[in-house]
A and B are shown apart, each in its own frame.
Chain A
Amino acid sequence: MKILVLSDLHAVLVDEVDTHEHSRLIVDDDGSGEFGDGLIGYIQSIDSKLDYIICCGDIANRGQSRSFVAGWKFLNRLSFSFPGSKLICVPGNHDHQSRPDTTEDPTGFSPKHQLQFCEPSFPFDCFQKNTHFWAWNWAIDSLADCNVLSLNTSAYHGYSDEYKHGRVSSETINQICDFIESDEYVPKPINILVCHHHPQRMEHAYEDYDGEQMSGGQSLVNALQEIDVGPWLVIHGHKHFACVSSTFSQAQTPPIVFSAGSTSAKLYEGIKDKTSNQIYLLDIDISKTDQKERVVGKFKTYEYTMANGWLPSKSENLPANSGFGSSKTAIDLISDIKSKLVDEPFLQEIDLIEINEELGYFTPREFVRLKTRIEKHNLIAEIDESHQKIIEIGYGNAH
């Protein structure tokens, strides 16, 4: 199952020049612009078949309604470029009119009004689903091989300081769980939660206190696990910092959290050396996911730089090729390697097929742990970092 993930576009309009400092996605009212068109062309060049296109919100910049409409049109153009793909989107804080403002506003002050009444309809093209989403702040889509829970974590924005973080209320959590437990919900190999805010703090991103996460997020992921309808993949944005992690869990197969970086916002000072403007191609192995009841898949990261345009990522957050869902740890693979080295003086790619296959499902951080342990166990390896695999490994000449 192939999923294109992009997030935090922060689209700005070509005729609003003073906003251009915030984003690379500069578009006209029809959602066209050089960066966006180039991005569509690039994605077409790397993969022509996508099952889903997921955008985690902040399509607009600073609640600008025109920029939201233009950004949403851009996303629809992207979706049209991949016939057969389904566009899944949730709003972010920048899409809502989050902060009380006394300046002229033809819509009156309503955080969600422009989102609820826009053309094409947002986020679903189905009236019933849209109604449900805007009424209850969530909706579930039952698709071919997955269930997608779209959640509006900015639903309460517009009151006091709610705009500073996300929220899912306990009532919403109960509603969602009731629905999932009902006969209406058809279990699928994988469940995907798409939301804007992160379900748990990400203090490692800015190395600072983080109060922006989804309030109630931990409660939500705990509840979803307790229902036990299969593995969960959480895809979110907001922090502009890309990483792969897992959530709090009382079981041994915690949900995978894919924190998407920003596709086109100019990055904040605190993170611009740690990550970049990125898009992601996730390839979920449905069969393995179903078999192991954990989300198993690989992903590719592409980043944008001024010098080179779009290319496979060279950033650690996130790297060009990595994965999630391996049931093995770094030390398990070290053990496998050492077992093989009992009979062989060294191992080459042809000897490492299974090990490299498993390594492909390691998260980036687990791969780093593997490299550290290679050294600790007096092994020497030639590693293809960009493809997260071992080319050759053996005991060093000092062994």
Chain B
Amino acid sequence: MHTNIPSISESFNAKTTSTEELCNTFITNDFFDQLACPNNSIMIGPRGSGKTTLMRMLEVESLEIWNRENSDKYRDIIDFSGVFIPTDRYWKKQYEKIQEVINSSNITQVERERMDKALYLLDVLFIYHVIEQFLSVVNYRCSRIVNKKNKFRSVDISKEDEMELVLELSSLYGCTPKINSIRSLFSSIVIKKQDISKSANRLIKGSDETCDLDEISLIEILNSSVSIVNNYLNESHGKWAFLFDELELAPDLIIQPLVDEMRGGHKDIIYKLALSPYHQDISITHNTDSSMKEQDLNYINLTGLNDKEGSKFAKQLCTSLFVRKGLFENIENYFESPKPTNIDKDFKELISKDEYFRLYLEDRNLIRDEYRANDSLLRKVKFIAHLRNYKRDENNQIKRRRRPADYYAGFDHICKAVEYNPRMLIGLMNKFIPIAKEGKVSLAAQLNSLDEYFQSFKALLSTIALDSNNSKFNNIYDFIDEIANYFNNEIYGVEFKSEPKGSFIINDKINEGLLEIVGYALNAGALISVDTDIGTFNKKKEGLRNVCRLSYMFSHSYGLLMTRQKEMDLDELIYSTALNKANVNIVKLFKNTNPKQYNLELK
């Protein structure tokens, strides 16, 4: 009996993990190698794909304390100081709220001015947030107190120089630290941020506030800050990398200049931006005079990992988790493997039940006495046949309430089902480890855990509300469910199809509402973008062509294949389902500007 029953929600969130824990569990991979290069980068991936972990591992403190194999090698090759900039979801919400008020038809001039000031203060708040992170790294690099074994980018600066540096920076930032030390300057910035936030909130609530802050620009502040600091640290070519995480949450007016700055900005500043696949208003690659895609910056796409890369990464990550808990064997040995599919049995059984399958084989002269797995003509349909046979009874009727086929189990398929997403892998493995300590993780246990994760994922998707004139579609999961059922029917429908459809194309003709829904689904990881070297798109649709498939997380529940399937136009897919005429849109929570509650009629 397992006394430790980990929760499905026990998982790894790099944002809140301590630096020590992050460094202890980090597995290097090709993506990290790419991100560690001293050039501007844009990294795309849905939730849990590892963006934050990769970014945080480039921080000075992380590289200092990281003490695993290869860490020395990375310390030698990384010649910039990483400044990690987390983004607060709250900002985006505040922005959207203010914008809604500004755009409402009955706003007065006084209210408009107040909201404009509040927006300005939010921009300024973000700038000070970046300054705060920058100073934190400067403080760490100059610290005389922290015991730095590796002395990664550590500098010695006299107190007199530190005072002068602080005087210059405080003049730039418009604040006065209590003592002329970097630490005190950092504290003063934190206090300034709090004051700005309070002022912005008061404006939003309708109070009058004076706004006596000078106009400042993020780029200018960063350029000046880096120049001043490099001067005092005697590093005339000292490189600084600003690592912006969850950029889609940051104010748009701030982020576009950052993206633009990636073409020929300050010589000592590198920008690395992490984004979800869909971001409404940020144009990264559809800038008409942009040559940036190939030359100016490095694209890192964490979505749609191929099997070879994904499997390799998953094995490394899972092995390290198991080893930490005292399980030292080859990771695959801890997992029961499904029996190989018996093509001969499957084909013969299916032929006897399924007339369309029999006709398919007859038409192609593929009726045999014995069916072999190495027959190249049959390989293409063997898994379709296996699943179809599993699902159908002797009377060729679809069986109800069967557990998923063993096909979906096994270490490799379990990892593939979660799209090699590190957060999900960690969550799953934490469930398997107690079982593995007592013996192999059975197929049933694997499928149960996968299903629990699926249910959790389904619950998450159900929180993203949709507006529709069809009561069937209330949230993004309902949208995905409709598509999944369509693809299910491609495999299990009356007619046998050797190439069932399993992915769809979106193009620039897609309506905005649908684009947004697909975007949210991509960001949540429910849809996976394939076949694109960009991996990202936004509301501005010009030149858009993107192929998407369902996450393999849905495969076991809907009986889908775990390989990429034939494409179809999204329009055609929508037309063929109840989504046609449903007029679905994402629900905008802040559209409701009516502050009153609805009356509850008591009878």
Chain A contacts to B: CB under 8 angstroms: 344-346, 348-350, 380, 382, 391-397
Other-chain contact of A346, B145, B176, B180, B187 (Cβ < 8 Å) = B180
Contact residue range for chain B? 10 to 19
* Distance from A348 Cβ to chain B, minimum over Cβ atoms (Å): 6
Q: Are B159 and A397 interface neighbours, CB within 8 A?
A: no
In the complex the two chains form, is B145's CB within 8 Å of A380's CB? no
B179 / chain A contacts, CB cutoff of 8 Å: 346, 380, 392-397
Closest A residue, CB atoms, query B144? A350
Q: With a CB–CB cut-off of 8 A, which chain B residues contact A395?
A: 179
Q: List 25 A-B contacts (CB under 8 A).
A: A344-B159, A345-B159, A345-B160, A345-B163, A346-B159, A346-B163, A346-B179, A346-B181, A348-B145, A349-B145, A350-B144, A350-B145, A380-B179, A382-B183, A382-B187, A391-B183, A392-B179, A392-B183, A394-B180, A395-B179, A396-B178, A397-B176, A397-B177, A397-B179, A397-B180
Residue of B nearest to A343 (CB): B159
B319 within 8 A of A: no
Interface residues of B in 139-172 (CB under 8 A from A): 144-145, 159-160, 163
Residues from chain A with Cβ under 8 Å of B145 in the complex:
348-350
Q: Is B337 positioned at the interface, with any CB of A under 8 Å from its CB?
A: no
Counted as pairs of residues, one from A and one from B, with CB atoms less than 8 Å apart, the total is 40
Instruction: Chain B residues near A391: list those with CB within 8 A.
Output: 183
- Verify B176–A348 contact, CB threshold 8 A: no
A397 to B166, CA, bound (A): 12
Which residues of chain B have a CB within 8 Å of any CB of chain A? Answer: 144-145, 159-160, 163, 176-181, 183-184, 187
Query: Please, how many angstroms separate the alpha-carbon atoms of A228 and B183 in the complex?
Result: 49
Enumerate chain A residues within 8 angstroms of B144, measured Cβ to Cβ.
348, 350
In the assembled complex, the CB of B346 is this many whole angstroms from the nearest CB of chain A, namely: 57
Distance, CA A391 to CA B187, complexed state (A): 13
Partner of A345, one of B178, B180, B183: B180
Contact among B178, B183, B187 with A397 in the assembled complex (CB-CB below 8 Å)? B178
Q: Separation in Å of the B497 CB from the closest CB of chain A? A: 60
Q: Is the CB of A382 within 8 A of B184?
A: yes
Distance in angstroms from B593 CB to nearest chain A CB is: 36
**What residues of B have a CB within 8 angstroms of the CB of A345 in the complex?**
159-160, 163, 180
Enumerate chain A residues within 8 angstroms of B187, measured Cβ to Cβ.
382
B181 near A348: Cβ-Cβ < 8 Å? yes
A348 to B181 alpha-carbon distance, docked (Å)? 10
Q: Which of B160, B163, B176, B184 contacts A392 (CB 8 A)?
A: B184
Taking A380-B179, A394-B180, A396-B179 as known contacts, 17 extra A-B pairs with beta carbons closer than 8 A to each other, sorted by chain A number, are A345-B180, A346-B179, A348-B144, A349-B145, A380-B184, A392-B179, A392-B181, A392-B183, A392-B184, A394-B181, A395-B179, A396-B178, A397-B176, A397-B177, A397-B178, A397-B179, A397-B180
Judging by beta carbons under 8 Å apart, are A380 and B178 in contact?
A: yes
Contacts of B176 in A (CB 8 A): 397
CA distance A350 to B187 in the complex (A): 19
Q: How far is the CA of A349 from the CA of B181 in the complex (A)?
A: 13
Q: Kindly report which residue of chain B lies nearest to residue A399, judged by CB atoms.
A: B179
Closest to A394 in B: B179
Among residues of A, the one whose C-beta sits closest to the C-beta of B162 is A345
Smallest CB–CB gap between A138 and chain B, Å? 50
The smallest C-beta distance from B172 to any residue of chain A, in angstroms, reads 16
CA distance A392 to B180 in the complex (A): 11
Inter-chain CA distance A391–B163, complex, in Å, is: 17
- Collect the chain A residues with CB atoms within 8 Å of residue B159's CB: 344-346
Q: Which B residue sits closest to A344, measured CB to CB?
A: B159
Task: Report chain B residues within 8 Å CB of A394.
Answer: 179-181
A397 to B180 alpha-carbon distance, docked (Å):
7
* Closest CB in chain A relative to B55 CB, distance in Å: 29
CA distance A346 to B159 in the complex (A): 8
- Given the complex, which residues of B lie within 8 Å of A392, measured CB to CB? 179, 181, 183-184
Report the bound CA distance from A274 to B446 in whole Å: 55
Q: A45 CA to B178 CA in the complex, in Å?
A: 39
Instruction: Give min CB distance, B85 to chain A, whole Å.
Output: 24
Q: Within 8 Å CB of A348, what residues of B?
A: 144-145, 181, 183
Chain B contacts of A382 at CB under 8 A? 183-184, 187
Roughly how many angstroms separate A395 CA and B159 CA in the complex, as a whole number?
Answer: 14
CA distance A350 to B163 in the complex (A): 17
Distance from B151 Cβ to chain A, minimum over Cβ atoms (Å)? 16
Give Cα A101 to B391, complex, Å.
82
* Complex: A397 Cα to B177 Cα, angstroms: 7
Bound-complex Cα distance A78 to B187 (A):
44
Closest 5 CB pairs of A and B: A394-B179, A380-B178, A345-B159, A346-B179, A349-B145
Whole-angstrom distance between the Cβ of A374 and the nearest chain B Cβ: 12
Query: Within 8 Å CB of B181, what residues of A?
Result: 346, 348, 392, 394
**CA–CA, A149 and B179, complex, Å:** 50
In the bound complex, CA of A344 to CA of B159 (Å)? 8
Set of chain B residues within 8 Å of A380, measured between Cβ atoms: 178-179, 184
> In the complex the two chains form, what is the Cα distance from A350 to B160 in whole Å?
16
- CA separation between A345 and B160, bound complex, in Å? 7
Q: Name the residue of chain B whose CB is nearest to the CB of A349.
A: B145
Q: How far is the CA of A312 from the CA of B354 in the complex (A)?
A: 71
Least CB separation from B178: chain A residue:
A380
Q: Which A residues touch B183, using CB under 8 A? A: 348, 382, 391-392
Q: How far is the CB of A207 from chain B (nearest CB, A)?
A: 35
Contacts of B180 in A (CB 8 A): 345-346, 394, 397
User: What's the minimum C-beta distance from A307 to chain B, rounded to whole angstroms?
Assistant: 21
- Which chain A residue has the least Cβ–Cβ distance from B163? A345
- Docked Cα-Cα span, A312 to B248, in Å, equals 39
The distance in angstroms between the C-alpha atoms of A397 and B178, with both chains bound, is 6
CA distance A393 to B181 in the complex (A): 10
Cα of A170 to Cα of B278 in the assembled complex, Å: 86
User: CA separation between A349 and B184, bound complex, in Å?
Assistant: 14
Bound form: Cα–Cα A118–B176 in Å: 68
A350 and B177 CA atoms in complex are apart in Å by: 21
B169 to chain A, nearest CB (A): 14
Chain B residues whose C-beta falls within 8 Å of the C-beta of A396 in the assembled complex: 178-179
In Å, the complex CA distance between A392 and B139 comes to 13
Q: Shortest Cβ distance from B190 into chain A, in angstroms?
A: 12
